[in-house]
Amino acid sequence: MEKREQVNRLAEILAKTSQDLPDFAVMEVCGTHTHAIARYGLSALLPPNIKLVSGPGCPVCVTADETLARALTLARQPATCVCSFGDMLRVPVRVRYPDGQIGLDSLLRERGLGRDVRLVVSSLDVLRLAQAEPDRQFVWFAVGFETTAPATAVLLQQARAAGVHNLKVLCAHKTMPAALLALLDPTGRRPARQPIRGLLCPGHVAVITGADAFRFVPEQLGLAAAISGFEPEDILAALIELSRQLRRGQPGLRNMYPAVARPEGNLAAQALLRQIFQPCPAVWRGLGEIPGSGLALKPEWRDFDALDSSLTPDPAAAVRPAPENGKTACHCGQVLRGDESPADCPLFLRVCTEANPRGPCMVSSEGACAAASRYGTGGAAAVRIKDSKGVRPDSLSGHNESGKEPDVHE
Ligand code: SF4
Ligand code: SF4
């Protein structure tokens, strides 16, 4: 079956499966899902009673202003180079400088002012730089979820093995489960503007953590859950599964990405993470501090910690966040909580554009505002889905505890 035909067929099945269900919202917590949904215009194919809401799925977007301000402080230290991925360098943050001045800053702006800030494409690039320039301190500004933290762990192992001492890590790695528990807290301590009844779980995170790591979604949050791949037909098949669970009144977890996300995950990567990191409280943009949702270096690796090192200046010399209030404030926090869509932000495409972003959700290649800007907020899916016969067979199947293949055809 052609891809376009298959997508249309799945949209019909979804309409049938969700018929008569009360209106419900499904949150996607992966930046790649957000972009696939916008890129293929999938919202336009959904029945009117289903709404898709973006959550805190982009690691650049959820990095708090406090952490960005620390990176700026480190970039201002003598003979120090801060390295990170391109998106992280572009995120704007309103800060108060040590002299009391307030301004909009970013690592890229600091580079324009002559500070040593470098874009890298891999964590191991930082090791090569540190070895090539032993008289400079190199700081790896490490962001990302369970998917990217193993690369930082490998960097530290290799740096220690090579006897490299001029490399530190500003560790902003985060893990997904504690944040989802806090955001979707069933006790209602954090009431969401729109009640979420299903979760499209991040396939890439599940590759590392294992699909079973998302069992807490039905068991503790009482929400329907499906681990999904990233093609339009994968996402529609996952939505059909969520509708079925809601129709039965039995939220569960279905792995719709079984070819790569095994129930137990990547055990070697998990062992590596346990060797280097330990859970710590972390501040998430829009969600605040969440216990156990961050990764800190274990005591035996603290000699690599940028915040525990001689690089940390006198607190009086630190750059600090200076959040904006009122009409000119960025709404990324509300967008990441799923309380608002990008178009609800008064700055969206008026003041804040991809060329002149005012918040991380417009900067990041996985951000919800960038997706809405690039592809629009609805649109004709049919014109965006090119015909192809390359549909992966696993995109329409999954496995559950019983090992039974789900049938998406009603
Ligand atoms: S790293 Fe993978 S799972 Fe995480 S947001 Fe990006 S694409 Fe999604
Ligand atoms: S449109 Fe810009 S300012 Fe508004 S929430 Fe998105 S990134 Fe922030």
Per-residue confidence (pLDDT) for residue 194, from 0 to 100: 64
Rounded distance from Cα 334 to ligand 2 centre (Å): 10
pLDDT tens for 240-286 read: 999 999 999 999 999 999 999 999 999 999 999 999 999 999 999 99
Tell me what pLDDT residue 382 has: 37
- Residues of the chain with pLDDT > 90, as a percent, come to 76
Reported as a pLDDT band with limits 50, 70 and 90, residue 315 is confident
Of 204, 207, 230, 365, the one to substitute when testing ligand 1's pocket (max ligand atoms within 8 A of C-beta) is: 204
In terms of pLDDT, which residue wins out, 95 or 191? 95
Sheet of 137-144, strand order? 116-119, 80-84, 137-144, 167-173
User: Which ligand approaches the C-alpha of residue 94 most closely?
Assistant: 2
pLDDT tens digits, one per residue of 130-147 = 999 999 999 999 999 999
pLDDT tens column, 88-109: 999 999 999 999 999 999 999 9
- Compute the residue count for the chain: 410
Q: Which domains does the chain have, with CATH numbers?
A: 60-175+277-321 (3.40.50.11740)
Please tell me the predicted confidence (pLDDT) of residue 303.
95
pLDDT at residue 47, as a whole number = 95
Nearest Cα residue to atom 8 of ligand 1? 30
Give the ligand whose atoms come closest to the C-alpha of residue 344: 2
